[in-house]
Amino acid sequence: MRFDTVIIGGGLAGLLCGIRLSESGQRCAIVSRGQSALGFSSGSLDLLSHLPDGQPVSDVAAAITQLEQHFTAHPYALLGANRVLNYARQAQTLLADCGLRLQGDAETPHQRVTPLGTFRRAWLSPQEVPLKPETTLRTGVVGISGFLDFQPQLAAATLRKRGIDAHAEEIELPALDTLRDNPSEFRAANIARQLDTAEHYTALYQALRPLSEQYQALWLPACFGLMDSIVFDRLNQQLACPLRLLPTLPPSVPGLRMQHLLQQRFVQSGGSWMPGDEVIRADISGDQVTQLWTRKHEDIPLRARHIVLASGSFFSNGLIASRDRVREAVFDLDVLQSDNRSDWYGDDVFACQPWHQFGVQTNARLNGLRHGRALSNLYVIGSVLGGFDPITQGCGGGVCAVTALHAAQQITDQGGEQ
Ligand SMILES: Cc1cc2nc3c(=O)[nH]c(=O)nc-3n(C[C@H](O)[C@H](O)[C@H](O)COP(=O)(O)OP(=O)(O)OC[C@H]3O[C@@H](n4cnc5c(N)ncnc54)[C@H](O)[C@@H]3O)c2cc1C
């Protein structure tokens, strides 16, 4: 099978790159083995919240200039501040074109409310997510009876410590009783499959209506809106106060919706989506990847002028750790890592962990390095890259979006099939 570009991995990075390439007229395929990190994420995207030395970031451009000077392995340092911010703005437009209604922008980070009642800096958040409110706002934090993945008492108590006038409430939804029979089924995505249907709307509205008359804002766990915002919009029109939604423990409804809308856009733009398959090896000649072999298409290789590796980090097995080293799973690319295993971890599990920054090394064009030499038609994007810590630096979604669009730009600049 022949394409202009084959992308390995259909998470945030692979899909953004694939959409951009397909929309520019490329014949593009995405091979993706399984679920991506999106279904486990908050649905908010981080651009850059902290520098590696822990300094909080208020000016993203200035912070990237610091990365360029002192933390040169960071993907943003490879690209430079102007390009990072330019790609971040392009990503905002692309995500909106895919039907994602997100608040925030690259220049002005916001503080979103987390399900634990804390505040976390973000670049883009679904419009449903509450932002840090005025302390005087009388807020009802509403749980659903029997749903254990969101604890309104915990969230409300934490918010009160931060000066917010928050109170825990709970609603009964007997319509969900069939799910309640099995606690492992009583999860946000399964609840959403019920609450997104028209037949359950009235019960949900009637449970919330009296609370909406007592409070100035209601915050619920994000248990509806898997595919669209219809229920959210309708409730906001009809309730007496604004309603907002907090992402829950995985599976995350906002994250799953982002995955769904991006996948849909990729296919609509003409891309070939190959789910449930995996690239197991590649043939390399000189500085070029010549073909890819997948588990399902045993004897039919995938050939493309350009290959993009978007296979994710340890979480998605893009990186694999053995006793003595960390390796990249498909091409055995050079991986930024500490030689000595005892240096992989810090003693404090809550502190920045060195292994978070392990990942593939590239040049500034994002060509993967193998034995120190760049593979000229292989681009590496997203969380399989090394040199950054998505958790303590708050830059996971941003690195994915920015590197995805940078790779797509390099590829479209060179044209399609030979
Ligand atoms: C649990 C979790 C929660 C996170 N939450 C947030 C958040 O809220 N906000 C934020 O900004 N960042 C968050 N991050 C950071 C996150 O890494 C990025 O935001 C982003 O979603 C990662 O996207 P990705 O495309 O690089 O990789 P992934 O989402 O991991 O996708 C990689 C895909 O490649 C597939 N794959 C792997 N190997 C192969 C192969 N050989 N052949 C075919 N397919 C393959 C995998 O099955 C997977 O579908 C989170 C990360 C994790 C792990």
Q: Are residues 237 and 282 in the same domain?
A: no
Q: Are residues 86 and 158 in the same domain?
A: no
Residue 121, classed as helix, strand or coil, is strand
End-of-domain residue from the set 246, 268, 285 = 246
Residue 77 belongs to a domain:
yes
Tell me if 344 CB under 6 Å of ligand 1: no
End-of-domain residue from the set 202, 224, 246 = 246
Q: Are residues 193 and 292 in the same domain?
A: no
Query: Ligand 1, residues 33, 50, 277: which to mutate, most atoms within 8 A of Cβ?
Result: 33
Beta strand extents in 58-215 (DSSP E only): 102-103, 110-113, 119-122, 125-126, 139-144, 166-171
* CA 255 to the chain's CA centroid: 7
Look at residue 417 in the predicted model and tell me its pLDDT.
47
Look at residue 349 in the predicted model and tell me its pLDDT.
80
CATH number, domain of 404, equals 3.50.50.60
Q: Are residues 290 and 382 in the same domain?
A: yes
Look at residue 340 in the predicted model and tell me its pLDDT.
87
Nearest Cα neighbor of 352 from 38, 71, 14 is 71
Residue 251 belongs to a domain:
no
Look at residue 175 in the predicted model and tell me its pLDDT.
84
**Ligand 1 atom nearest residue 384's Cα:** 26
Cα 146 to ligand 1 centroid, rounded to whole Å: 30
Cα 136 to ligand 1 centroid, rounded to whole Å: 38
State the Cα–Cα distance between residues 192 and 227, nearest whole angstrom: 9
Look at residue 346 in the predicted model and tell me its pLDDT.
86
pLDDT per residue, tens digit, the chain (418 aa), is 899 999 999 999 999 999 999 999 999 999 999 999 999 999 999 999 999 999 999 999 999 999 999 999 999 999 999 999 999 999 999 999 999 999 999 988 899 999 999 999 999 999 999 999 888 889 999 999 989 899 999 999 999 999 999 999 999 998 888 777 777 788 999 999 999 999 999 999 999 999 999 999 999 999 999 999 999 999 999 999 999 999 998 889 999 999 999 999 999 999 999 999 999 999 999 999 999 999 998 889 999 999 999 999 999 999 999 999 999 999 999 999 988 888 888 888 878 888 999 999 999 999 999 999 999 999 999 999 999 999 999 999 999 999 999 999 999 998 654 4
End-of-domain residue from the set 211, 246, 281 = 246
Residue 39 belongs to a domain:
yes
Which structural domain range is residue 344 located in?
A: 2-107+256-414
Residue 118 belongs to a domain:
no
Q: Are residues 282 and 214 in the same domain?
A: no
Query: Ligand 1, residues 383, 388, 393, 405: which to mutate, most atoms within 8 A of Cβ?
Result: 383
**Ligand 1 atom nearest residue 255's Cα:** 8
What domain count does the chain have?
2
This prediction has a pTM of 0.96
Q: Are residues 237 and 260 in the same domain?
A: no
Q: Are residues 261 and 368 in the same domain?
A: yes
Residue 124 belongs to a domain:
no
Give the orientation angle of helix 188-195 with respect to helix 253-268, to 10 degrees: 70
